[in-house]
Amino acid sequence: MVSHWTRVEFSSLVARKARMGELDEEGVARADARIEEIVAKSSTVVPPSVKDFDLAKRGLATFATG
């Protein structure tokens, strides 16, 4: 399972690579199409709950995990 935020985070990564000159417009389109294909074929997209955000926040604050 993935959240809709997964798709947003991936788009953010791709946009960053484009801004840094690592991907051109065609590369961005290919990457976006590929992640959508992967999500559609092998994932269930679920909306995140408040508990999910709390868990993510706690995980990010756990520096021991590296």
Containing domain of residue 53, as a range? 2-65
Domain count, the chain: 1
Residue 60, CA atoms < 13 Å, CB-side half-sphere: 6
pLDDT at site 17: 95
pLDDT at site 29: 95
pLDDT at site 66: 62
pLDDT tens string, the chain, 66 residues long: the values are 898 888 899 999 999 999 999 999 999 999 999 999 999 999 999 998 999 899 989 988 887 766
Question: What pTM was computed for the model?
Answer: 0.70
